[in-house]
Amino acid sequence: MSDTTAAVARHSTRALVTQSVLGLVVGALIYLVVAFASVAAVAASHALPLVLIAIVAGAGVFLGWRWPALAITAGGFILLVSLLIAAFSISTPVPLFTFDVFAAVVYGAASGYVVIVGVVLICSSMVRRLPLTGR
């Protein structure tokens, strides 16, 4: 392996690790935003929280297309947290008009919006990696 090939391999490995670590942080932030928006959708009588969730899902498509490793990690983190909450049957009443983080995280997993955004992140990054056909 030449020096140039080794340098490219090191750079690409470093970029992949960086995107994966950032994916965990982005996944946690997206989870919290969507969880609080789903709580606000129950508490509010208007569609603004649902519009916020749609904007976050659209941003997830952009993330998945531009930085696939970041989006797969973020989506996987979101799905893992939701799966753990469901597996351990953690429940809480709907946290109306409070900013209780634990209650919002648990209710967000139960609402389904968080899981939808996680799947959007994973699917959009997988589409980026599909081979082009018909050209």
- Single-letter residue type at 15: A
CB of 66 closer than 8 Å to CB of 79: no
pLDDT single digits (tens) 13-25: 888 888 889 999 9
**Distance between alpha carbon 63 and the CA centroid of its chain, in Å?**
10
- Total-model pTM: 0.81
CB of 118 closer than 8 Å to CB of 57: no
Q: Where are the domains of the chain?
A: 3-129
pLDDT single digits (tens) 66-121: 999 999 999 999 999 999 988 887 776 666 656 778 878 888 888 888 999 999 99
